[in-house]
Amino acid sequence: MKTGNEQRDTLAAPAGRRDWLAGGWALFWENPIGKIGLILMACFALMAAASFVPPLLDPMYHPMHGVDPEISHATGPSAAHWLGTDFIGRDILSQLLAGARIAFMVGLSAAFMSIFFGTLIGMISGYAGRFVDTLLMRIADMVMVMPTLLVVLILSSLFGQLRIWTIVLLIALFRWPGVSRVIRAQTLTLKHRPFIEAARVTGASHLRIIFRHIFPNVLPLALLYMTFRVTSAIIIEAALAFLGFGDPGTVSWGMMLQWVWKTGHMFQAPYWLLPPGICISLLTLSFYMLGRAMEEVLDPRLRKEGESE
């Protein structure tokens, strides 16, 4: 308990931040889980970066439109196609690489947005208190009981196929309550700390207090939650695409699985079925591991709520 408070205080004090970062990094790297997570993520980042290469080599490696003129059905790994081709002759490896890019994009942007909403609402709710607090938290309760995947599924099946950015936005809109609860709790403890009281006495505006004083103090916590949100965003997008409700103009791993499923290659083409599934699982794993390791660095006591997802 003591250690937790001490660390939090160090967090608040800018002077200690560099030391804390160095110490945190050491702690992080010492943790095998953090190490594995980081290495895995680096691999996927490399994949995402490499996704721009194949289409430059030959237009037939374009993940969406490029087809091998020689191949008109699913084939296994070969020299020209290291992971084989899909049923119309598109290269699976370049799809896999492009999928990494999409996964990062979806995961990070959805997580960023949901953290943004969550932090904002949490801070306002905690800081304003009373009626605003009650209202926002009841809304949070309501959104919280919605199974995100099913909601997005309903929306996308009702309003036609959704663009990838709409999906990202929807995921973010339904994933904020968990974050805002934690941020609210943190804001409540901060609210009566001397430096906030002092700011208020000197006549700082509410906005200034929230963004200048409270925000920097809840930021590490928000970042921690972001890693967990990344995993859930990636999983939801993949599940959506798998069920056929993804953005068809995008090559995501979920889409690849959908293709392999819907075209009847599921149990025929392991070279096509396995890579996207493994990639989805490993990328979410890497973010999750990162989050857990970060959490141990940040504060072992703050975890409870975020983790069940």
Interface region with another protein, contact rule CB under 8 A, candidates 119-127, 208-216, 219-227, 267-275? 267-275
Distance CA 142, CA 140 (A): 5
Among 116, 165, 215, 261, binds another protein (CB under 8 A): 261
What's the rounded Cα separation, in Å, for the pair 174 and 117?
10
Question: Which residues lie across from 91 on neighbouring strands?
Answer: 85
* Nearer residue to another protein within complex by CB, 9 or 197: 9
- 185 near another protein, rule: CB under 8 A: no
Of 53-82, binders to another protein (CB under 8 A) are: 64-65, 67, 72-74
Query: Applying CB under 8 A, which of residues 239, 294, 297, 298 lies at the interface with another protein?
Result: 239
Segment near another protein (CB under 8 A), from 43-51, 119-127, 189-197, 235-243? 235-243
Q: Does 144 bind another protein (CB under 8 A)?
A: yes
Burial (CB < 10 A; 0-12, 13-18, 19+), residue 59, is exposed
Instruction: State which of residues 103, 123, 124, 149 lies at the interface with another protein (CB under 8 A).
Output: 149
Tokens describing residue 62: 């374009």
Cβ atoms within 10 A of the Cβ of 214, count? 24
Taking the least distance from each CB to another protein, the nearer of 16 and 244 is 244
**Segment contacting another protein by CB under 8 A, of 108-116, 194-202, 219-227, 229-237:** 229-237
Residue from the set 226, 257, 294, 297 that interacts with another protein by CB under 8 A: 257
Q: Which is nearer to another protein, 42 or 88 (CB)?
A: 88
For position 170 contacting another protein by CB under 8 A, the verdict is: no
19 touches another protein (CB under 8 A): no
One-character DSSP codes across 105-149 = HHHHHHHHHHHHHHHHHHHHHHHH-HHHHHHHHHHHHHHHTS-HH
Residue 284 found at the interface with another protein (CB under 8 A): yes
Amino acid letter at 260? Answer: V
Cα–Cα dist 71/203, whole Å: 72
**In whole angstroms, what is the distance from residue 179 CA to residue 181 CA?**
5
- 36 near another protein, rule: CB under 8 A: yes
Q: What are phi and psi of 75, to 5 degrees?
A: -130, 155
Q: Could you tell me which residues come within 8 angstroms of residue 34 by beta carbon, excluding any fewer than 6 positions away?
A: 28, 289, 290, 292, 293, 294, 296
Q: Which amino acid is at 255?
A: M
Please identify which residue in 5, 141, 189, 208 interacts with another protein, judged by CB under 8 A. 141
Q: Does 186 bind another protein (CB under 8 A)?
A: no
Print the binding letters for residues 82-121 with another protein: x by CB under 8 A, - otherwise: -----xxx--------------------------------
Decide if residue 26 touches another protein (CB under 8 A).
yes
Q: How far apart are CA 118 and CA 124, in angstroms?
A: 10
Give the residue, chosen from 230, 238, 294, 298, that forms a contact with another protein under the rule CB under 8 A: 238
> Using CB atoms within 10 A of its CB, is residue 183 exposed (0-12), middle (13-18) or buried (19+)?
buried
Q: Which one of residues 109, 114, 227, 231 is an interface residue with another protein (CB under 8 A)?
A: 231
